Structure 1
Amino acid sequence: MNRKTLALPAVAGLLAPLLVACGGSDESGAIVVGTTDQFLATAEAPAPLDPAFAYDTGAWNILRQTVQTLMHVPRGGGEPVPEAAESCRFSDRLSESYRCKLREGLTFSDGTPVTAADVKFSVERVLAIKSDNGTAALLANVDTVETNGDREIVFHLKTPDATFPYKLSTPVAGILSKDKYGAKELRAGFEVDGSGPYTMKTELQGEKIVKAVFTKNPKYKGDITLRNDKVELRSFADADSMGKALESREIDMMTRSMSLDQVKDLTEKPKEGIDLTEVPGLEIRYLAFNTADPSVKDAAVRQAMAAVVDRGALINTVYGTTAQPLYSLIPSSVTGHSTAFFDSYGEPSTKKAAGILSKAGIKKPVKVTLHYTTDHYGSGTQKEFEALRDQLNATGLFDTSVQGSEWSTFRPAQKRGDYAVYGLGWFPDFPDPDNYVAPFLDTDNFLNTPYVNASVRDQLIPQSRRSADRNAASSVFGQIQKIVAKDVPVLPLWQGKQYVAARDDLTGVEWALNTSSDLLLWELGRGTA
């Protein structure tokens, strides 16, 4: 989230700089966590922390600390359990009606009661605003929201959806006060008001957060147990500066995204007082295509790229043991995973790709530009895209160039359709195969893609959501993956591992980052666990 931004004057005025010197990790008793996530308010994204707009891991990691949801995924994973709710359940056999009851005495951090009307307002607000960031797609299956008194809410769904409890556990379903948020407009700036485990104050430099301080919310009532009173989240420009801050004890922990060199160094040459922890991860990386762009409109071009990309060589060159090849949108540890791209294209083959292009009558070499973001996924991204460029050009079938831009420019341009081919990463909203399919292929998807497959959207995705037993939906996801491998609207590349490094007196580190890359700051403590 950087580059030269066109900050709105109104936003800049709202966010008057509050920068102060960054002291040591124990200056105020706070646990200090470093991140390379960047938090900016720009002309094209003036409301980065509004739940109706926010749809990236960094923003969600702020919202999860401050805005409460009806459900949440418990420590260690598994099915969602009640959080702001006292209870939630499907009240019909078809999974089309979902009923929740709020905890008694629930209030926002300012003491205002949280009611069923606030839940209804929050969900309907997301659907009314329907931001171009793709956020509303998670709640698009909601038909109506009904309240019964101050504590009971019923969600009536358009079609059966066994994944709905997971969707209610994401920040898009965060409970907001209608006194603080407009019903049909985004809330500009970085203020967040909720009923979550922490309240937040930010320190800014221009239109960018440099520090977010989370303080235990004394009015919080929910399922989460806090193991600290205050946590500071500090944003760094890159992994190297974050690593130096950990070594000098300016911070207690560094999280996403550590560089491969840092992971390798801490593995081979451990540093005194610092522990490296590998935590399960479900991140994927992929190329995506604007299928309306003339350069890649013909599926043969996309298929030819799929036939020559060498995932193994790419990983060996850039990511080493921190990644593994991915041959479908759904990673290997998630139900519904397949090797559809390998089954369709086999080992990388210039001969096969040349045949695909010749059969379609496409003139060679095909000129393409691979676009990537320079500051959102870690320091290896540029090297990754240069390696992809070299692979494609070595075949003689492509004339490939690469172009990088900072996230604040990259993401709006990608949504507008300015790029024919671009790279993105995906950290799941929730650990279910649906969340590796719908955000890319369903209506109002995250990519804002022109690609439409009616069979996937109208039949297969709805069919997959009918199964409460997610293993029973595997065959449907297998059909979807075969279609993706044939049409290639996206090209999966690799799935990654997650690492955090922390001072050895910090406890709860192994729980502080879950498989969806959710940062759970309340798990951190000091001394004896």
Structure 2
Amino acid sequence: MNRKTLVLPVVMGMLAPVLAGCGGSDAAEGAAPIVVGTTDQFSAVPEAPAPFDPAQSYDAASWNILRNTFQTLMRLPRSGGDPVPEAATRCGFSDRRNEQYRCTLRSGLKFANGHALTSEDVKFSVDRILNIKYENGPIGLLSNIDEVETPSAREVVFHLKSPDATFPHKLATPAASIMDSEVYDEGALRKGYDVDGSGPYRLKTRIGDGRVLSAVFTRNPHYKGGLKIKNNKIEMRFLSDSGAMESALKKGEIDMMTRTMSPDQVRRFDLSTDEEIELVEMPGQEIRYLAFNTDDKVVGRKAVRQAMAQLIDRQALVRDVYARTAKPLYSIVPTSVGSHVNSFYNKYGEPDANAARAILRRAGISTPVKLTLSYTTDHYGSATAKEFKTLQSQLNRGGLFDVSIQGVPWTKFRAGQAKRSYGVYGMGWFPDFPDADNFTDPFFGKDNFLHSPYRNSTIQSRLIPRTRQEAERTAAADNFKKIQDIVAEDVPVLPLWQGQQYVAARGDVTGLEWALNSASVLQLWELDRSVPG
């Protein structure tokens, strides 16, 4: 087994690879497509009818599709740091308050279908997401936009409701995907799996049993942007579980496997002597946490949430469930992002049943506290069920809690979570961009994606706006610390762990060290095959 562990420096809060990609074929004509395996699943259901529509899509799995087929005005550079122009030639704030942002498009842009791409398509795309207001979509990333102007076919001006130094990062996310105004309906989701973008690839899907079985990405001949595409074709296959994915890799049916690899697989690949398969480990910013419906009759009481924070043993969780392929997390902001503070550890310290008992006693809460932990069975990997059994055991030990657990398929789980059907439930977060703002506003801002009833006026009205006024992000650290400390006190969410990223691939695949960005989104254009000999 060849293993690469990438040690990455922090650049503006983002982890940036220091190894260079080393492709050899440079997208040679006639080369066999690189086949990427994943356990992600896509189906068009009434609760989520448009998996690949930017107005609906807001998870790492669907963003893997959008990132490779749509363009955005800005993108994150290969080596991390501040966003750089993509569909634009230049962008920047045109005022001192960070409230007006102006971009100039590249000349001659076209969608993959040959239609011209102009500033009107940019305006259409933003207005469309804001008008559709899909409840589980990425609208929160764009909700600070007050108006979009198009002075010319190549100029776009965004007027913001309030200052936001992170706005360039938001324009680099698939939430700001540029859609073809001749194809997409301005007032309705595009149901099904068709995509019309101007990104590096065109998309063709194969459907069976009511879901996407595979997706073929073919180089878009009309693409104009800053990416260097190293292959002509990529195929993604959506396999039933991590075991099927590993079997396909060993048989040579796929060339690379990615999310979601189980901890046992990572350990097995790491110890293997098979020289034909390479394991690459990269730092990540994925986090897992428990979220609470603070209006619930049980966990709506702050003392119950605080007692849970006092009992849960993160060290044991990552050791026993994730074989140390994850790290304990004591804040909603991961350790690899600037302005992180270990607020939960500072407040609760090591797990302590006596301290938890005292919290409940002071609040007049009788024990055992009965509650249900809910989790999704098919979205975050095969270890999730074991994780929640471990949490159940930790909370029930000592008699303070009487916890049951329930698993729900993702499509039903996400819809139920949005309707506040669960008192406490497990969620994951893959950042939209590498800034502490993306671990605070989406959770505690006005349009939070959890649809949480939790409101803290200090966070929402004072601290978040202050952090966004700071173009120099280190100057926002004190206000971010205050937010994290308030969250540790109120416990509207309970952070559990922060993950690493892994891919395994056959030895002739190159570019693996660049295959995932810090948000765990696939960058298919980086993959290539080495030249024999």
Deviations 1:368-411, CA, capped at 9 Å, x for gaps: 10001111111110000000000000021100011111111111
C-alpha contact 1:467 1:473 (8 A) present in aligned 2: yes
Alignment partners' CA distance in 1, 2:438 and 2:104: 26
* CA shift for structure 1 position 465: 0.7
- Aligned residue pairs: how many? 504
C-alpha contact 1:203 1:209 (8 A) present in aligned 2: yes
Which residues of 2 match residues 58-457 of structure 1 at below 5 A? 58-457=61-460
Match of 1:19 in 2: none
Change (3 A) 1:318 1:27: farther
Alignment partners' CA distance in 1, 2:113 and 2:518: 32
Alignment partners' CA distance in 2, 1:276 and 1:483: 40
Provide the secondary structure at the position in 2 that maps to 1:256: coil
What is the TM-score with the length of structure 2 in the denominator?
0.93
**Letter in structure 2 aligned against 1:342:** Y
Provide the secondary structure at the position in 1 that maps to 2:418: helix
What is the TM-score with the length of structure 1 in the denominator?
0.94
Provide the secondary structure at the position in 2 that maps to 1:338: coil
Match of 1:500 in 2: 503
* CA shift for structure 1 position 76: 2.3
**Letter in structure 2 aligned against 1:327:** Y
Which residues of 2 match residues 451-490 of structure 1 at below 5 A? 451-490=454-493
1:51 and 2:38 matched: no
Structure 1: runs of 5 or more not aligned: 1-25
**Letter in structure 1 aligned against 2:198:** S
1:33 and 2:36 matched: yes
Alignment partners' CA distance in 1, 2:348 and 2:271: 37
Alignment partners' CA distance in 2, 1:395 and 1:47: 46
C-alpha contact 1:71 1:84 (8 A) present in aligned 2: yes
**Letter in structure 2 aligned against 1:415:** A
C-alpha contact 2:264 2:323 (8 A) present in aligned 1: no
Alignment partners' CA distance in 2, 1:42 and 1:363: 42
C-alpha contact 1:134 1:447 (8 A) present in aligned 2: no
Match of 1:515 in 2: 518
* CA shift for structure 1 position 88: 0.5
Alignment partners' CA distance in 2, 1:467 and 1:270: 50
**Letter in structure 2 aligned against 1:351:** N
Provide the secondary structure at the position in 1 that maps to 2:520: coil
Provide the secondary structure at the position in 2 that maps to 1:246: helix
Alignment partners' CA distance in 2, 1:264 and 1:385: 21
The root-mean-square deviation of aligned C-alpha atoms, in Å, is: 1.2
Alignment partners' CA distance in 2, 1:241 and 1:371: 26
Identity %: 57
Alignment partners' CA distance in 2, 1:277 and 1:69: 28
Alignment partners' CA distance in 2, 1:311 and 1:240: 26
Provide the secondary structure at the position in 1 that maps to 2:278: strand
Alignment partners' CA distance in 1, 2:523 and 2:443: 26
Provide the secondary structure at the position in 2 that maps to 1:281: strand
* CA shift for structure 1 position 134: 4.2
Alignment partners' CA distance in 1, 2:531 and 2:375: 43
Structure 2: runs of 5 or more not aligned: 1-28
**Letter in structure 1 aligned against 2:105:** L
C-alpha contact 1:134 1:444 (8 A) present in aligned 2: no
**Letter in structure 2 aligned against 1:272:** E
* CA shift for structure 1 position 243: 0.5
